[in-house]
Amino acid sequence: MPFSPTDTIVALATAPVRAGIGVVRISGPDALDVARGILTIHRAPEPRLATLTHVRAAQPGASRARIPNPACLAEAGHWAVRRRRESRFPTLADGRPIDEVVATFFPGPHSYTAEDVVEISAHGSMALLGEIVRAAIGAGARLAEPGEFTLRAFLNGRLDLVQAEAVADLVDAVTPLQARIAFDQLEGTLTRAIGALDRELFDLAASLEASVDFPDEGYHFIEAGDAGAALGRVRDGIDRLLATSAAGRVIREGRHVAILGKPNVGKSSLFNQLVGTDRAIVAAGPGTTRDMLRETVDLGGIRLGLVDTAGIRASGDEVEREGVMRARGAAGVADLVVLMLDQSRPLEDIDRALLLETASAPRVVVVNKIDLPPTWTARELAAGSRDSGRQKQESRSENPEPRIPSPEHATVSLSLKTGAGLDDLRAAMHAALDVAEPLRDAPMISNVRHDTLLRQAREAIARAMANLEEAGESVSEELVLADLAEARGALEEVTGKRTTEDVLRRIFEKFCVGK
């Protein structure tokens, strides 16, 4: 890593926003000396005992490091100040008390980073917290890099890499289900599952290596059938984990939903209902929405990036044409399209065109304004959908590899005026995203890195099983051992038992400063 893991570091550990309380964390071999240099107490705080004290301001000329903003910009590293090399740090004898705080000392290895850690709980003024951080820097600490506290927990064996990534997921969680999945991984559910698979591979490799080490005896320490059965158990265990990947990634990463339709069918009203506030302007005239509005909502534990698009119609207005183009683009990349139709107005060519355009995409068709007299029936809509299906099949004959397989499309009738049908729409959207509620405390794959490495391990095991099946008792143990080594290497890379500096940098640079 581009910085020393033996430095004593400091950062704001709570969100960089105005709050009732903010916590400044100091970690490293000299954490206690730095804390004593900025606190008014004359003795070391008792381990794991909250101590009421005061914090002193930074000395004149101390670093003017800023508190990172919520975006956790990477340039936070440029504010780092190398700690002084003296074995003891001077106290800020001339510094004036600036706040009454509660300091807690966590001696290593029983702390978050497995190092000596001092946490200072102060009043949550950003200006005040900035002064505390600057005082700690003046006393010899340096500002932590993004994710450096959690990186140290990983390097010191306090967490494995799966758990370290779960820390970031837990911080970023915006739905209770996201938080639950992240917490399960932080508790080690996935680590234990992968560890069990790795142990079975280790036992099998040990038996095969024993056969290689004693070739003259002509004795196999494990029969080919038993080795194949062991590999089959590991393969099945990996398959069970991979079976959770699609739903897990939906929960972790969220999904994008575009609301599409012609003007005045109720797109903005539906957007407001799903968001829970009057975010979009609703007016009787067409063309109210000219650009895309985006909000994040919780749909049964799934984080949805909801997009309200401009009404699709031919227009001579350059701005509105651009909005229509963006709307079609958003629908083209969305994970789910909510196509809105107005039952109180006759079906038009634009409605049929949109039915055709979205026929090969996951979608929910919404029939709005059922509180008004209808101008068309569900039979007419079904006929239009069949026409769209025939045209889609003709298109498939020309292009045998469509972008998305055609799913079953749900149709929901509702009235945004009365609220009838909204619960049905939410249920249909959830079903279209195909995410089942995961079992509590069950291992789940939610990270593309884990998914990729598990697939690599499975491929290696499949090759080993094929070699065993083909050669039987005459199989070369060295050939099987090479495949087992590759499989074990992939599993160990998931948990971080073996990994590269580039992988660590890529993972931890996404963390916020202070975590």
Confidence at residue 95, expressed as pLDDT on a 0 to 100 scale: 64
Mean pLDDT of 410-435: 87
Distance CA 391, CA 400 (A): 14
CATH number of 254-433: 3.40.50.300
pLDDT > 90? residue 173? no
Q: Which residues of the chain are in CATH 3.30.1360.120 domains? A: 9-158
Distance CA 355, CA 159 (A): 50
Distances (CA, A) of 216 to 210, 328, 479: 12, 71, 19
Residue 12 structure tokens: 């704001």
Residue 83 structure tokens: 């700690």
Class of domain 9-158 (CATH, top level): alpha beta
pLDDT in tens, 425-455: 998 988 888 777 677 778 899 999 999 999 9
Specify which of 49-63, 191-205, 357-371 reaches the highest per-range mean pLDDT: 191-205
pLDDT > 60? residue 26? yes
Q: Which residues of the chain are in CATH 3.40.50.300 domains? A: 254-433
pLDDT grade for 323, boundaries at 50, 70 and 90: low
Under DSSP, the state recorded for 335 is: S
pLDDT in tens, 470-486: 766 556 777 888 899 99
Confidence at residue 174, expressed as pLDDT on a 0 to 100 scale: 84
User: How far from chain centre, in Å, is Cα 498?
Assistant: 22
Residues 6+ apart with CB under 8 A from 387: 352
Distance CA 25, CA 133 (A): 9
pLDDT > 90? residue 348? no
**Fold held by 167-244+443-496:** Four Helix Bundle (Hemerythrin (Met), subunit A) (1.20.120)
Cβ-based burial of 281 (10 A; exposed 0-12, middle 13-18, buried ≥19): exposed
| Mean residue pLDDT across the chain | 79
Distances (CA, A) of 464 to 184, 454, 476: 32, 15, 10
Q: Which residues of the chain are in CATH 1.20.120.430 domains? A: 167-244+443-496
pLDDT grade for 80, boundaries at 50, 70 and 90: very low
pLDDT > 80? residue 168? yes
Give the predicted TM-score (pTM) of the model. 0.74
Contact in structure between 208 and 223 (CB atoms under 8 Å)? no
Cβ-based burial of 439 (10 A; exposed 0-12, middle 13-18, buried ≥19): exposed
pLDDT in tens, 215-232: 555 555 667 778 888 999
> Which residue reads 């889609």 in tokens?
392
Range in 136-140, 319-323, 410-414 with the lowest mean pLDDT: 319-323
Confidence at residue 71, expressed as pLDDT on a 0 to 100 scale: 43
pLDDT > 70? residue 137? yes
Mean pLDDT of 447-467: 92
